[in-house]
Structure 1
Amino acid sequence: MDQDKFIFCLEAVADVEVQNSTEIVKHLEELALNHGVSSIYKNCDTIEGLEESLGALLYDDHNFKDYEIIYLVMQGQENSICIHDYFYSLEEIAELFEGKMKGKIVHFANEKILDLSSEEAQYFLDVTGARAISGYGATFNNISSIHLDKVFFSLCQEEFDLVTIVEELHQKFYEACKALDFRLYY
């Protein structure tokens, strides 16, 4: 496993001033301990916070090239995210980070359904430079995708080819992939 690759997790919360250890933080710690996959966690409660956090990662972290996955844990709908009761389209997000996600996999937890047309997905990939965008077509009340996310992240550390990663994920966890409707656009 290549231990020089990291996950950057950005979670939308109601108020960044309230310090709560979320389920996501606990699972990222477990992923680091059990699978050697390191991560950086930040939270945001505004679009400016999202932009500032990703901007700091892009411009201030000299190891940015080693971040393979940008893990977004936020609510939303098919082609939008919701931060503090405001909806932002993935097109708007793509334009904020134009050309700045080269080679990254942008992965959404199942708090937000990811249902993109091929044109929407291609636009996001072309504008941001991301290698892929992934997430889930189904959400279940109070059931997190974190366990499948962790397997996906581990596979991304071991393998570069996206098709091989998705095939292996489906072979090992077919029922979970089917129930959550795992999707990857590349």
Structure 2
Amino acid sequence: MTHSHYIYCLEAVQDVSAPSKSIILPALQQLALHYGVTNVYKTCDSIEGFEESISTLVCEDKDFEDYAFIYLIFEGRDNELKIDNYFYSLEEIAEFFEGKLKGKVIHFANTFRLDLEEETFQYFLDVTGARAISGYANQVPVLSTVLDNLYFSLSEEYDDLVELVEVLHEKQYALCSALGFRMYY
């Protein structure tokens, strides 16, 4: 079964008003060009910008139902996102988006180390309504875009999350292992 999923990518930057070279934009362009996956790219430099970007997507984007993934490019530590030099726990992030992410997969690039306890991921899923959280547990010097793009493109064919992850591992087992790919659902 083939569907058309959209990806909403939000990248943390130092200052949204200053020109900056995105680390992720070239990969998103390749995703659209080679796999035909529609994506929207935004930046934020504050918690208010983060909240506003997601709220605008949820409340104002007429295609919101078509977004399968919210792709977050943020740094962090110990399962806390760094936004404007402050750290926010996933529990705090969940409360910003209470009930607003129904059916979405929240995916973190490997700029943020994701290694969750069951209580934390279950709280996030319960509060936001998200379908799953995915990302990487291992910090490696290589950006995860190659695996991210494969993951997103496979989601066009596989709706079942378990099957999607199995196929991803079949195709790129060494990379999945090296990066420590994780999915919580």
Deviation at 1:123, TM superposition (A): 0.3
Give the structure 2 partner of residue 15 of structure 1.
Answer: 15
Give the structure 2 partner of residue 61 of structure 1.
Answer: 61
Give the structure 2 partner of residue 39 of structure 1.
Answer: 39
Give the structure 1 partner of residue 149 of structure 2.
Answer: 150
Counterpart of 1:158, as a letter, is: E
SS of the aligned residue for 2:140 comes to coil
Give the structure 1 partner of residue 72 of structure 2.
Answer: 72
For 1:27 and 1:146, locate their aligned partners in 2 and report how far apart those are by CA, in whole Å.
6
User: What pairs up with 1:1-186 in 2 under 5 angstroms?
Assistant: 1-3=2-4, 5-141=5-141, 143-186=142-185
Structure 1 runs (4+) deviating above 4 angstroms are none
Counterpart of 1:35, as a letter, is: Y
CA shift digits 1:52-89 (9 cap, x unpaired) = 00011111101101000000000012321001210000
Deviation at 1:156, TM superposition (A): 1.2
For 2:164 and 2:13, locate their aligned partners in 1 and report how far apart those are by CA, in whole Å.
30
How many pairs are equivalent? 184
Deviation at 1:157, TM superposition (A): 1.6
Deviation at 1:19, TM superposition (A): 2.2
For 1:126 and 1:79, locate their aligned partners in 2 and report how far apart those are by CA, in whole Å.
17
Give structure 1 stretches of 5+ with no counterpart. none
For 1:48 and 1:158, locate their aligned partners in 2 and report how far apart those are by CA, in whole Å.
35
When the two structures are superposed, what TM-score results if normalisation uses the length of structure 1? 0.97
Give structure 2 stretches of 5+ with no counterpart. none
